[in-house]
């Protein structure tokens, strides 16, 4: 079931009709993309009038941009743990890698990525928002952890930000692109864990102290 995501485009007070519009918009945009969805279709899916849709969102662009930005925030939060546990680099990176791979291979994660890429020319700010609320935050978190591990002598990492990006690329490399292109179906838990385990082993060997 699609879960509505709050945006700041309209009144912040809870409103059942606005909630229905958000649910309908999220479902249709993720399924069909921006260009194929009309305000009429959103109104029909939400079981409200088109006038009601426009009373909450001044245009399709405003509804789409606000909804996509909010989804970036929510999905970014899901990829970020509250804190990195005090554990060996292998254990900590495995935890981070699993959360990241779960996100980028999830139906909503894939759909959002496709939309951001596909609608980037129309909404250039979406790419920035997507990167800053998701990948960049995770890179910063991992880089901070790697810097601490370097100081502790557990790893030797001279450029933590680059190393963090390398780790994320390694973690998703075995599953994300083929899934994104529709070549493979959703990976099993074992396949995702295997990809992360290989990434962690490769990364730790490369940056061993």
**What is the four-CA torsion angle of 199, 203, 204, 206, rounded to 10 degrees?**
140
The model scores a pTM over 0.75: yes
Helices (H), the chain: 16-32, 39-46, 50-56, 60-79, 89-104, 107-118, 124-133, 135-152, 160-173, 176-180, 189-206
Q: What is the pLDDT of residues 95-115, one digit of tens each?
A: 999 989 998 999 888 888 888
Any idea which residue has 């921006």 for tokens?
A: 34
Would you place residue 180 in the very low, low, confident or very high pLDDT band (cuts 50, 70, 90)? Answer: confident
Q: Under CATH, which number does the domain 68-206 receive?
A: 1.10.357.10
Same CATH topology for 16-58 and 68-206?
no
Q: Is the pLDDT of residue 9 over 80?
A: no
Q: Return all residues near 10 (Cβ < 8 A) that are at least 6 apart.
A: 18, 56, 57
Q: What is the pLDDT of residues 123-132, one digit of tens each?
A: 888 888 888 8
Q: Under CATH, which number does the domain 16-58 receive?
A: 1.10.10.60
Q: Where are the domains of the chain?
A: 16-58, 68-206
Q: What is the mean pLDDT of residues 43-61?
A: 93
Q: What is the pLDDT of residues 14-49, one digit of tens each?
A: 789 988 998 899 999 988 888 889 999 999 999 999
């Amino acid at each position: 079931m699609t879960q509505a995501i709050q945006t700041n485009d309209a009144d912040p007070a809870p409103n059942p009709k606005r909630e229905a519009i958000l649910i309908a918009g999220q479902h249709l945009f993720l399924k069909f993309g921006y260009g194929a969805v009309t305000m009429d279709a959103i109104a029909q899916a939400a079981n409200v009038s088109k006038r009601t849709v426009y009373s909450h969102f001044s245009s399709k662009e405003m509804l789409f941009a606000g909804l996509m930005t909010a989804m970036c925030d929510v999905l970014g939060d899901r990829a970020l743990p509250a804190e990195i546990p005090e554990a060996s680099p292998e254990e900590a990176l495995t935890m981070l890698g699993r959360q990241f791979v779960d996100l980028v291979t999830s139906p909503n994660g894939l759909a959002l990525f496709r939309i951001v890429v596909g609608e980037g020319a129309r909404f250039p700010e979406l790419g920035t928002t997507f990167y800053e609320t998701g990948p960049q935050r995770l890179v910063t978190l991992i880089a901070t952890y790697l810097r601490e591990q370097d100081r502790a002598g557990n790893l030797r990492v001279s450029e933590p930000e680059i190393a963090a990006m390398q780790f994320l690329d390694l973690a998703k490399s075995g599953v994300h692109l083929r899934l994104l292109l529709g070549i493979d179906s959703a990976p099993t838990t074992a396949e995702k864990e295997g990809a992360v385990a290989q990434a962690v082993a490769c990364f730790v060997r490369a940056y061993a102290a």
